[in-house]
Structure 1
Amino acid sequence: MSHSLSFADYMPEAENCSDCRKKIFDRLTGLPGIVELEVTRKVVAWAGGEESRSVIEQVLAELKAVHHHRSWIVGGMDCPSCAKSIEKAIERASGVHTARISYARERLSTDFDPALVSAQQLEGIVKGLGYSLANDHVSDANASDEKKRKSSCCSGQAEGHSHELSANETEIAPGLTDRLRNILGQSWSKVALAGGFLAIAVVLSQIWPENSRVFYSVSALIGMVPIFINTLRSVRYGQYFGIQTLMTVAAIGALFLGEALEASMVLFLFLIGEALEQRAANKAREGVTLLLELQPKKARLIPDLMPGTHSHEVPAETLSIDDVIEVRPGERLPADGVVLDQMAILDESALTGESIPRNREGGEVALAGALVLERLTRFRVSSEAGDNTLDRIIRLIEESEEHKAPVARFIDRFSSWYTPAMMIVALLVAVLPPLLFDEIWSVWIYKALTLLIISCPCALVISVPAAVTSSLAASARNGLLIKGGAALEILSRAKSMAFDKTGTLTEGKPRVTDVVSLGDEMEMITLAAAVERGSSHPLATAVVTCAEQKSIIIPSVSNAQSITGKAAIGEVHGQRIAVGSTDYFAEDLARNSELASKAKEFLEQGKTVVAVCVDEKISGILAIRDEPRDTAARVLTELKDLGLETVMLTGDNPKTGAALGQQLGLSVKAGLMPQDKLSEIESLRQSGIVVMVGDGINDAPALKVADVGIAMGGGTDVALEAADIALMQNRLEDLPSLIRRGRATMANIHQNVALALGLKGVFLVTTLLGMTGLWMAVVADTGATVLVTLNALRLLRNRP
C-alpha cells in the first residue's frame, strides 16, 4: 500500500472497535481514487492518489462525530442471560448503535450518538436493571476478587433470571436501609433470610397451629421481596417474561389458593437454586478470567544499561518500545520483550498451554504474561502499550463473544417466543378444564402455576453460551484463540482444509538440503558463504546458515558484486568465486554430466539448485528448499482420519508444489495468485465447509473468504486480523485438536439442549397428570440449569 492514515491520529476508538472498522471499510469501498483498500486495527491503507487522503479524513471525521464509545465494568452478572438483558435494554435506547457485553471481562462497551443519548442515560438504564457500574479503568484487565465476591445476580433477567439490588439503587426501594439493601444484594444472604423466616414460621406453627397460614404467608412475602423488586425492574424496561415474573405470579397464586407453606418453600428453594447457579456460572467464567490476571500492573524500568544503574517501578501502561525492563524470578512480563541476557527461562503455560518451561535465547522475543523462572532477566520492550500478545489475546476473547454460533442465534429466537407461548398455555390450562369440563378451579390453577415455573427457559438459554464460553476459555489456555462460537460450530462441520505452503506446511526458512562437490565439500561451502554473506536474499541466508551450522569460520570477501537474479560474485583468498542459478551456469554444468544429472534430480524434487564456480570452473552445487515441518505429514494424516480433504494452495511453481504434495500426501494447486486462491476455495466449497490455513499477507483474502480462516501464530498482523482462529504456538498439530474441539463443543451443546428440553417435557407431562407440585417444579427448573452448566464445564477440563 502506498498511502496510509493512522487511527491514533484521526479516530482512536476504531483501534478497539471492529464495528467501526467495518463501517469505515464499507464507507470507503468504491470511492473514486481509492483502490486496494485495507483497514487493519491500526491504519487505513490504500493504493492510489494522495488526493484521496482528504476524502478519507472527512469520512473518519463524520463517523467520529456520531460514534462515541464508552465502556463500563458491570457488577452483578453471573450468566450470559444477564449480559443479554443489558444489551437488549441499552439497544432499545434511541441513538445507540451497538451495545456489547464481554461476559468474561464483565465489560459493557457501547457505541452511541452523543447528540441523541448521553452516557448518563445509559448508566441509568443499567442501574435501573439492578446492576452496579464502575468506570472501565477501575477494573481494567484484572477484575478484583473483591468485586467478584460482592457482585452476584439472582439468576438471569431477560430470559429468565433475577438480579441483585445495586448498592446505590434507590429508585424502587428508597426506604430500605443500607444494611437491608446489602442483604438483599447477596444470593446466600437472601437464602439465609428466607430460610430463617421459614424456620421461624415452622416453629410458630407448631406452637399455634391455628395461625400457621399467617406465619407461612409472612415467610413467603419476605422471601418474595427481592424477587418482586426485580420483577418491577424487568417490567419497567420491557422485559416481561423472566423467571422472576413467573416466580412472583406462582407465589402470589399459591397464597391465594391457601398454599402458604408451599409458596414459602417454593421461594426458599428458588433462592437456593439461584445461589447454586451463580457458583456454577462463576466457575465457568474463571477459565477466561485467569487469562486476565496474568498481566502485572507494575514494571521495573531501567533508565539505561550503564553499570550500576538501578531499576525503579513504573505503571506497566507507561512502557514504550525500546524501554529496558528487568523481571525477577516469580514475576510475569508486563510487555512483549526481546531477551537481553544470554538466556531467559520462562513458563509460558498460561499463554500457550505448553507445560515445559521455555528457554528463550538472547535476541528472542518473550511474550507478555510469561512467568520468569530462576534468574533476574532483562528485556527490551517490543510492543506498544495495550498491544502486546496478552492484550491481543484478551481482545480476541472479547470479540469472540460478538460472533454467536448459528445454533445460539436460533436458541435466542426460540426463547423469545417460547416463554410468552408457555404463559398462554398455562392460562389455558387454568381456564379451559373448569369452563369446559366443570373441573375444580383451584386444582387447575395450581397446575397452571406449576407449569409456569417448569416452562422457564433458563437451562435452554444458557445451554449454548455456557458450552461456548467454556470451550473458548479452554482453547485460549492452550494457545488457540477462537473468535466466537460461530467459528467453533462451522469448524465442527468442516469437509476440507486448504493450506498455504510457505510458513504453514513448511518452516518458512529455506535451508541447504544437499551438497554435491567435485572437491573439498567444506571448502566449497566456505567460499560460497563468503560471497553470499552480504546478501539478504533467503537463498543466500540459507547458504550462510549452512556454513554457521557446520562451525565454519566465514572469510571476508573483496570486490563483491551482484548480478540481480542470477549470481553473486567476489574474491576470497585471491580466488574469484561465483554463486548463482543453474540457468546462469548452464554451459558450465553441461560439461559435467554427473553434476547436471544431480541438478536435474534436485529440480524435479522441487528444490532450488545453486551452482558454485571457483576461478570460472564449476566446483559443485547446493540444493536448497523450504523443508516441510517435521509434524506436517502426521498432522495431514490425522486430518484425513477425521474425514477432511486436504489441499495445498501455493504461488510456487508447479514442480516445487507437486514435489512437496507427493512427499506429504495431499493434493496441490500451484502457481496461484491471491485471487486464484479465492476461486479454488469457492470450488472446494461445493463439497462443503472449507477451512483455510495461512500466515502471510497474501493469505489474508483467502482467510477472510473461507468459511473458517486459521492464522498461524508466527504470521503477519494482517493474516491474524483476517482469520477467525489464531494458533499462538504456531503448531500444525493444533489443527486436529481444533476440529475435535469444535465437534466436542457441538456435542456438548446438543446434550445441553436435549437435557433442558427433555427434563421440561417430562415435568410438563407429570404436571398435567397431577404428579408434580410447585416444589418439584422449582427443583426441576433449577436442577436443569445447574446440570447444563456443569455439563458445559466439562469442556474446561477436556483437551481434545
Structure 2
Amino acid sequence: MAHTQRDMEDAHSPAVRYRIGGMDCAACAAKIEKAVARLPGVTQVGVSALAGTMVVHGGEATRISAQVTALGYTVDDEAQASSHQEHSHHDHADHSHHDHAHTDADDHKGHGHSHAPLGDGSLWRTPKARLIAICAAALLVAHIVVMNAPQFGQWPFLVALLIGLVPIARHAFAATRAGSPFSIETLMTISAVGAFLIGAAEEAAMVVLLFMVGELLEGLAAQRARAGITGLTKLVPDVALIDASGALREVPASSLAPGAVIIVRPGDRIAADGVIAEGESAIDEAPVTGESVPKTKRPGDRVFAGTINMDVVLRIEVTSRAADNTIARIVRLVEEAQEAKAPTERFIDRFASRYTPAVLVLGALVAILPPLLWGQDWDTWIYRGLAVLLIGCPCALVISTPAAIAAGLSAGARHGLLLKGGGVLEGLRRVTIVAFDKTGTLTQGRPVVTDVQSFEDNDTRILTYAAALERGSSHPLALAILDRVDAAPIPAAMATRVIAGKGISGVVEGRNVALLSPRALDDIVLSPIQESAIAALNGEGKTVSVLTIDGRIAGLIALRDELRADAIPALKSLKMQGIKAVMLTGDNRLTADAIAQSLDITAYAELMPEDKSRLVRSLQAEGEVVAKVGDGINDAPALAAADIGIAMGGGTDVALETADAAALHARMQDIPAMIALSQVTMGNIWQNITIALGLKGVFLITTIIGITGLWPAILADTGATVLVTANALRLLRWRVRG
C-alpha cells in the first residue's frame, strides 16, 4: 500500500506546514529543501513547487524563515502557527491571500515573481517585472550609447548586466552556502561573468535579461498548475442565507457550524455540505463531480458545497464547517498528495543531482581541452563552454514529473477521483486484477423487489397486503416492499405482530395474513409448483418471502440486492484495459454466484474480513498487482493488504481518509477511469522527459560544434521548461469517459 504524506508525518511529529512564495520550478524546491534540511533540529523536510508548500519536522520557525528568505523566497507567516495535521480554513479556503505578490522590500530578489492570475494586469507591477523593465531599458540605452560612441566598448553593457546579475549572484552565493552549489543561479553567474571577461558583455546582458523573463514565464506556468485544484475553492459562495425570525439574512459562509439551517434559492450555489431538511429539487453537481445531468435530491439526501440548486427553495441543515466541507478536504488532501514524491520523481531528482555537476565538468572540458590539446582559440572555446553550462540547467528535467503528477491529481480530483500521492497515480497503471466488494460496490447496497408471483390472487393484492404488514418497519426488506408498492393504496393492518425468526402477521381487510420465510411455514404444505418456484428464485440468489392468507399460500415476493446500472459497463472497460476482476463477499454462495454469473467474473463468497485480506495476498503471491475496491470499513484489512486500496464513497470521511484512493462519487466507471488517468499521466511524464533531454541534447551538440551560442542556450533551457509545464497542463483537460 503506497505511503502517504500522513505516513511521513507520523514518523516525526509535530510537523509545520509553510506556504512558500516565488518557487518557479522543482529545482527551486530542491534548493530550499537542502538548505532547510541543514538547519539544527530539522529532522525531515519536504518541499513541493507545484503545491507551493513546505512541510518541516523540527527546527526553529525563525531560523527556517530566515534560511528560506535568504534564498530569495517568501514564507507565509500565518502557516507557521498551524500544525500540518490541523489545517485552518484560512490555509485552504483563502488561497488568494496566500498566493500574494512580493512586497516592495523584495524588489531585488532574484526569484521574486508575482502570483497574480494569468492575464491579470497587476503582474506587470510586481518587483520582478519592474526589475526586468529596468534591465531592458538599461540594455537599450547601452545599445544607443555604443552606436553613437563606439569608443566606450562593452562598458555600457556592464550596467545592464549588473542590474540583473547582482541579485542572481547573491542568491547563487546563498544557495552555495546552504548546500546547493550547482543551482541555476550559480551556472548563470559563472556564464555571465565569463562572457564579460572574454568581451561578450552585450550577449551576457541579453542572456541575463532572457533568464529573468524565462523565470517569470516559468512562475506563471507553475502558478497555473498550482491553481489547477485550488480553483475548486472558488466554487463555494462567500455568504449564505439563514432564516432570522421570518426574514432572510446573509452571513459569512465561513461562520456556518454543523446544525445550522441555510436557505438556498433556485440558481444559488450551496454554501456548505449538508442534508436537505425541506424541499425537493434538481441539483447541478457538474462543478464538483463533472456529472452533466442534474440529480433530484429529496429531504434526507446529502448535498455538497459548491453545487447549484436548480428548481425550488431548499432548507439545508449544515453538516460540516467550511474548513471541513468536501471541496476543502479534497483540496487539502490533493495538496498533501502533491507534496509526496512519486517514484519516478525521486529517480529524476537523484539523476539531476549527478547530471548537473557532470555538465559543469563537461563545460570546463569544452572550454579547456581544445585550446590546450589542439591549439584552438581560447575565447571561442571558453564561450562554448559557458553556453554548455546554461544548457546544463536541470529545471525542465526536474519539473517533468511533478508537473504531470500535480496536473493528473488535480484532474482526477475535479472528477471525484482522489488519489493520495504520485506513487498511487503511478502504481495504478501496473494493476493486473481488481478485487471488488459486492454490497454497495457492484450492487446498489439495498434490496429491491425483483419478482412477485401470485398463486390464487393478483400480484397487486400480494404486494399491498405485504406492504400493509410492513408499514412502519425500517427493515431493509420492508422498505423494499413499500418502495415497490409506490402510489398504490395500502389497506390498514390490525393486530400485527412480529414472529421471531419467522416473519410478521396481522389482520388485513378481515383476513389473517402472514409474510413468512419458506422455512417458517410450519404445517403449511407446499405444492410441487410452489416448491419449484421458491427453489428457482433461491437459485438466482434472491431472498424469498411467502405471503399466506387465511392459512393458504397466496404468493411469493422475491428480493435481491441488484446490480448497479454501471457495473457491467465498468467491468467491460477493465477487460478492454487487459485487467481481470474478481468479487470478494461475505454473502452466501448462491447469491454471490448469481451476481458473479451475470457479471462474468469469479466470486469468492462467505468471507470474513480476514479471509478477504488472505485472498488478496494469495493473488499477490501469484504475481498479480491487486487493487481492492470496497467501502473502507469492513474491507479495511483487504484494502491495507492490496497494492492499491480504493474506497468507494459519496464524499464521506471514510472514503476520504481510508485507503490509497477514493472514488468520491461511488461510480463504478471511476475504477477504470483511475487506471486510464494513471496511464495517460505516465505517458505525459515520458513525453516531458523526452522533450527536456532531447532539447538539451540537440543544443549541446550544436553548441560544441559552434552553431549555437549563449542566447539559444538560455532559450533552450527556458523554452524546455515552459514546454514541459504546458504539456503537463494538458492533463487538466482530462475527462472521465463513459
Fold conserved (TM > 0.5)?
Answer: yes
Partner of 2:643: 707
Query: Deviation of residue 329 (structure 1)?
Result: 5.0
Per-residue deviation, 1:534: 4.1
What is the match of residue 285 of structure 1? Answer: 226
Q: Given the superposition, is the C-alpha separation of residues 19 and 637 from structure 1 closer, same or farther in structure 2, using an over 3 Å criterion?
A: closer
* Residue 599 of structure 1, CA deviation: 0.8
Question: Post-superposition shift, 1:419?
Answer: 1.0
User: Aligned match of 1:377 in 314, 318, 327?
Assistant: 314
User: Are the counterparts in 2 of residues 162 and 243 from structure 1 also a CA contact under 8 Å?
Assistant: no
Q: Write out aligned runs for 1:302-701 (5 A).
A: 302=243, 308-329=245-266, 331-373=268-310, 376-384=313-321, 386-518=323-455, 519-547=457-485, 549-553=486-490, 555-564=492-501, 566-585=502-521, 588=524, 590-685=525-620, 686-701=622-637
Task: Identify the residue that residue 121 of structure 1 maps to in structure 2.
Answer: 63
Q: Distance in 2 between matches of 1:98 and 1:576?
A: 74
Distance 2:381 2:253 in 1: 65
Q: How big is the shift at 1:166?
A: 11
Question: Match for 1:77 among 20, 23, 26?
Answer: 23
Conservation of the 8 A alpha-carbon contact between 2:273 and 2:318: yes
Of 660, 663, 670, 1:724 maps to 660
Correspondent of 1:141 among 77, 92, 97: 92
Deviations 1:273-324 (A, max 9, x none): 2222222222222221211222344433335xxxx42344444344222211
One-letter amino acid matched to 1:207: N
> Compared with structure 1, are the counterparts of its residues 407 and 262 closer, same or farther at alpha carbon in structure 2 (3 Å cutoff)?
same
Change over 3 Å in CA distance of 1:87–1:765 after alignment to 2: same
Query: Matched residues in 1 for 2:7 and 2:430: separation?
Result: 27
CA distance, structure 2, for counterparts of residue 450 and residue 403 of structure 1: 34
Structure 1 contact 491–708 (Cα < 8 Å) conserved: yes
Q: Does 2:138 correspond to 1:150?
A: no
Aligned positions of 1:178-217 closer than 5 A? 186-217=127-158
Q: Tell me, what secondary structure is at the counterpart of 1:693?
A: strand
Say which SS state the counterpart of residue 141 (structure 2) adopts: helix
C-alpha distance in structure 2 between counterparts of 1:744 and 1:510, whole Å: 38
2:547 match: secondary structure: strand
1:228 maps to which residue? 169
User: Is contact 1:633-1:665 (8 Å) kept?
Assistant: no
Q: Please give the secondary structure, in 2, of the residue aligned with 1:583.
A: helix
User: In structure 1, which of residues 208, 217, 240 is the aligned counterpart of residue 181 of structure 2?
Assistant: 240
For residues 677-734 of structure 1, give each alpha carbon's deviation from its aligned partner in whole angstroms, at most 9, with x where no partner exists: 1222223223332111111511122222211122222386335422222222221122
Residue 602 of structure 1: CA displacement?
Answer: 0.9
**1:239: Cα distance to partner?**
1.9
Instruction: Quote how far apart the aligned CAs of 1:67 are.
Output: 3.5
Match for residue 269 of structure 1?
210
Distance in 2 between residues matched to 1:609 and 1:616, nearest whole Å: 18
Structure 1 residues not aligned, in runs of 5+: 1-15, 24-65, 153-160, 168-181
Task: Answer whether contact 2:468 2:493 (CA < 8 A) is retained.
Answer: yes
Residues in 2 aligned to 1:490 and 1:151: alpha-carbon distance in whole angstroms = 39
Distance 1:587 1:162 in 2: 92
Deviations for 1:594-632, whole angstroms, at most 9, x for unmatched residues?
121111111111111111222332221111100001121
Instruction: Quote the Cα distance in structure 1 between the aligned partners of 2:90 and 2:273.
Output: 22
> Any conservation in 1 of the 2:275–2:319 contact (CA below 8 Å)?
yes
Aligned AA (2:591): T
Deviation at 1:443, TM superposition (A): 2.6
AA aligned to 1:452 is L
Mean Cα deviation higher: 422-431 or 777-786: 422-431
SS in 2 for 1:626: strand
Aligned partners of 1:236 and 1:491: how far apart in 2?
Answer: 41
Distance in 2 (CA, whole Å) between partners of 1:438 and 1:223 is 35
| Contact 1:631/1:733, CA 8 A, preserved across alignment | yes
Equivalence for 1:787: 723
Gaps of 5+ in 2: 80-87, 104-108, 116-122
**Cα distance change of structure 1 residues 358 and 100 upon mapping to structure 2, 3 Å threshold:** farther
For 1:528 and 1:683, locate their aligned partners in 2 and report how far apart those are by CA, in whole Å.
46
Distance in 2 (CA, whole Å) between partners of 1:85 and 1:346 is: 47
> Structure 1 pair 319/611, CA: closer, same or farther in 2 (3 Å)?
same
Give 2:677's aligned residue.
Answer: 741
TM-score, scaled relative to structure 1:
0.83
CA contact (8 A) 2:21 2:100 kept: no
Match in the other structure for 1:67: 13
- Residue 140 of structure 1 aligns to a residue whose secondary structure is helix
Q: Distance between the aligned counterparts of 2:651 and 2:162, measured in 1?
A: 61
Q: Deviations over 1:96-127 (max 9, x none)?
A: 34444565664444443xxxx33222222222
TM-score (ref. length: structure 2): 0.90
Q: Structure 1 pair 151/488, CA: closer, same or farther in 2 (3 Å)?
A: farther
Structure 1 SS opposite 2:444: coil
Contact 1:481 1:725 in 2 (8 A): yes
Task: Give the whole-Å Cα distance in 2 for the aligned partners of 1:488 and 1:554.
Answer: 56
User: Which secondary structure does the structure 1 equivalent of 2:143 belong to?
Assistant: helix
Describe the SS at the equivalent of 2:204: helix
Work out the CA distance in 1 between the residues paired with 2:169 and 2:290: 46
For residue 196 of structure 1, give the secondary structure of its aligned residue in structure 2.
Answer: helix
Count of residues in correspondence between the two structures: 711
Q: Contact 2:277/2:300 (CA < 8 Å) preserved in 1?
A: yes
Do the aligned residues in 2 keep the contact of 1:498 with 1:649 (CA within 8 Å)?
yes
CA distance in 1, matches of 2:548, 2:89: 68
**3-state DSSP of counterpart to 1:507:** strand
Q: 1:299 to 1:120 in 2, by over 3 A?
A: farther
- Distance in 1 separating the partners of 2:656 and 2:412: 16
Highest relative contact order (Cα 8 Å, sep 6+), 1 or 2?
2
CA distance in 1, matches of 2:391, 2:48: 30
Helix, strand or coil at the partner of 1:508: strand
Deviation of 1:420 (Å):
1.7
CA distance in 2, matches of 1:283, 1:746: 20
1:383-434, Cα deviation, whole Å (9 max, x unpaired): 2453221222122212212432211111111112221222122223333333
How far does the alpha carbon of each residue in 1:467-511 deviate from its partner, in whole angstroms, 9 at most, with x for none? Answer: 111111122222222212211111112211111111011111111
Write the distance in 2 (CA, Å) between the matches of 1:592 and 1:388. Answer: 58
CA distance in 1, matches of 2:384, 2:597: 69
Match of 2:6 among 13, 18, 37: 18
* Cα distance between partner residues in 1 of 2:212 and 2:127: 11
Are the structure 2 counterparts of residues 442 and 657 from structure 1 closer, same or farther at C-alpha, using a change threshold of 3 Å? Answer: same
